[in-house]
Amino acid sequence: MSISASQVKELRDKTNSGMMDCKEALQASDGDFGKAIEYLRKKGLSAATKRSSRAAKEGTVASYVHMEGSIGVLVEVNCETDFVAKTDDFKTMARDLAMQIAATNPKYVNAEEIPESEMAGEKEIYRSQALAEGKPEKVVDRIIEGKLTKYYEEVCLLDQKFIKDTDITVRDMVNNMIANSGENIIVRRFARFQLGEDL
């Protein structure tokens, strides 16, 4: 199938992916934009996986203060080089992460940070609820997995829906940046302060 330059440009504008990647995605999906975007996401995810072992010691600490000083956030985001850290795209992503944290109040960056005791407690609650509802034992584990996925979406930053585009998660947004920058990017840590909250 012949792919026009205008189709490639339109996909590039939508995804910020490279011209050749956009052309390849459109050809692989017979010009279907939805499938091409999915193709690019999968490619970005595999690229992100390959880069995840590389050291990321540069980056930035971004801040966001909301509602006349009632909520403040600091987030450390790392990348491999000072060059990428200074780009507008990287700074925008870091600020978007700070805004996400201000808006959604996650407790952890990802599920690996959740203490084992907290995980065990959540699983026990879900098990008790399922059994109390009369669910058969053989489906209880599947129910627990489903509820844990929802729990991660609430408490883990990377598993949340991205507030600027709820069709993707924060992890997808970071992976897109990894694919576009060619560097490993890590959301290292964050702190969120809310005026008057219990200490």
Q: Both 130 and 146 in a single domain?
A: yes
- Phi first, then psi: what are they for 183, rounded to 5°? -125, 155
Q: Both 99 and 63 in a single domain?
A: yes
Residue 45 pLDDT = 53
Q: What pLDDT, in 10s, does the model give residues 8-63?
A: 788 777 766 777 778 888 888 888 878 887 877 776 655 555 555 566 779 999 99
Q: Both 102 and 166 in a single domain?
A: yes
**Which domain range does residue 27 map to?**
5-51
Contact 40, 8 (CB under 8 A): no
Domain count across the chain: 3
> Model-level pTM greater than 0.75?
no
